[in-house]
Structure 1
Amino acid sequence: MTGQPADETLSALPQLGEREMETTLRPSRLSEFIGQPRVREQLELVLESARRRGVPPDHVLLSGPPGLGKTSLAMIVAAELDASIRITSGPALERAGDLAAMLSNLAEGDVLFIDEIHRIARPAEEMLYLAMEDFRVDVVVGKGPGATSIPLEIAPFTLVGATTRSGALTGPLRDRFGFTGQMEFYADHELDQVVRRSAKILDIEIDAEGSAEIARRSRGTPRIANRLLRRVRDYAEVRVDGRVTLEVARAALAVYDVDELGLDRLDRAVLSALVHSFGGGPVGVATLAVAVGEEPTTVEEVCEPYLVRAGMLARTPRGRVATASAWEHLGLRPPSRPDQAGPTLFD
């Protein structure tokens, strides 16, 4: 992503070369998948019903913030159906011909997974409508007045789409999915299970307090929890005897600038600039980004979601405002000023 900070430890987006490690840690069955109990139960019913009827299940849309397990669930759908999976992404499908070639190679019952499906090009999206509904695509041969449309039958398949921005999907595309699962951030106890499972796979010796500390600072995201576990492992192997305890986890996370609330260097820089340079706001995101030396998209997409969720930042019509929790986290006393109370009817 453009403008991402150099330190991406707490970014929920996958880092370069991280996909291979994630493949090792991914669960292979629904019974092994931790968290998302509602989505898991609903998806289990959809898949079991399709298995009993002997038909491919309805198309599945998984939406939610990055790092919560959408790709893992897509692979689990294929595994539960004992089917092959083809993987692509929305930005890769620029032309309708790209999609037609992929669809024509699918066998009956196969799963097609499209990540970032909201970024699919319009010509490919329009072809996808017909494929999802009637298992048919129209291939145009020739150009100009002599162009002909040839209908091409494709094998019944299941499309699994993943998106971090469900609002960016067009209505016709969204309506063609039979099941939509909304992924939610994980609770600390669920992330604790994720950390302990990953530690077992990676052969990391960790105690209950150490795993709980890593889970607490992982911002509700399994991808971040696994990343922090690997960083703590590195510290434990180099500085101590390799065993991860509460003290080791705290010392390691301090080295990587992850504080007790899961804030990193950039998060604290944003809050500090907002409080010290702009009196707590309101201030525009572009001005705030200049103050911390980052791109506006980085502040808006990497920092703000968690700061808002943690109750430290408020988005108002006039700009970003630091909440009382932000002042207290920085060891300061929040001012009692009318403009800190948020927007009014006359703003």
Structure 2
Amino acid sequence: MVKTTVTDAQEKQRISQLINSDKRFKGQTDNFYVKTLKLIGDNLRAFYARYASSKGLTADLVRQRITHWDLDQFLHAIDLLSGEAPISDELKKRKKLYKYQIAGGDHADAVAALIGATIAVTTNKVQHISRQHLANDYSAEQKYQQVIASKHLAWTLPRTQGVQITPAIGHAVDGSDWSDRLWVHSDNMVADVQKVVRNSLSGGLQQDQLNKLLQFGAPGMVPGGLQAAGETEMWMVDRLVRTESARVVDKATMDALTNRHVKQVVIVGEPDACDDCKKMINHGPYPINDCPTLPIHPNDRCKKREYIKDDEPAPI
């Protein structure tokens, strides 16, 4: 029998809050990318309407040099997606690359450049909001640790967003290569979508083929379609941010427990804890200076709490 400042039930409630937050944020980022894919689809329809004949889009036409119309479509699509997010160095590099690609290419290159640029602009936005999301998670966990440990109260996840990213929070949020990996997933998405579109254009394209390519709906609804081409990397982006959130929450937890001079911790499992996590949980309690760093695998939402032996007085 042990007594703790925070119970398993309280930590499980907190884990549930974090999982729900994950789902909300996934909906936000997925929405950004789906809107981008639909914008690409709109541009493909406009491209088809401008250049297709009664025979559809022929392979010979696709290989013709670009026109000013292609360039205007490219710039217009980027303008539609550009927002208030600061332009990162990664986006600057990709914009330069795709502008070079469209300047000297054919119609297929123009379409590929538009795909790359619009997805890159969206990823720049996702990078910006993800950093803020992680900062919010760090700040919220710090508040949770302060309130629940001192007052033993039920705790509600704050709805406020946009906490100030102080140097301490910035260090915790940026303490890994997550943003580099985000851009890797973005480039993979570009490659997947470009491949599907190039394959569709290479042999000529009829109206019914275009409609199938641009059909949107439930995830995975149309194999070989534009949406399906982006879904794998959308899922990877979600997994990346969710895993980084768990790392940031663990950092906030450890910072708070260390500041309170906690000696030992135990690990509370998420609802779908895997066998490896269960082994880690059963091996506790751990000395605070020799405990596992969470998460131990992608999507892991296990958490730590303070452990106090029966013969130790609970902190006031």
TM over 0.5: no
Q: Which has the higher helix share?
A: 2
Give the TM-score taking structure 2 as reference length: 0.23
Q: Which has the higher strand share?
A: 1
Give the TM-score taking structure 1 as reference length: 0.21
Which of the two has higher C-alpha Rg? 2
If asked which structure has higher relative contact order (CA below 8 Å, sep 6+), I would say 2
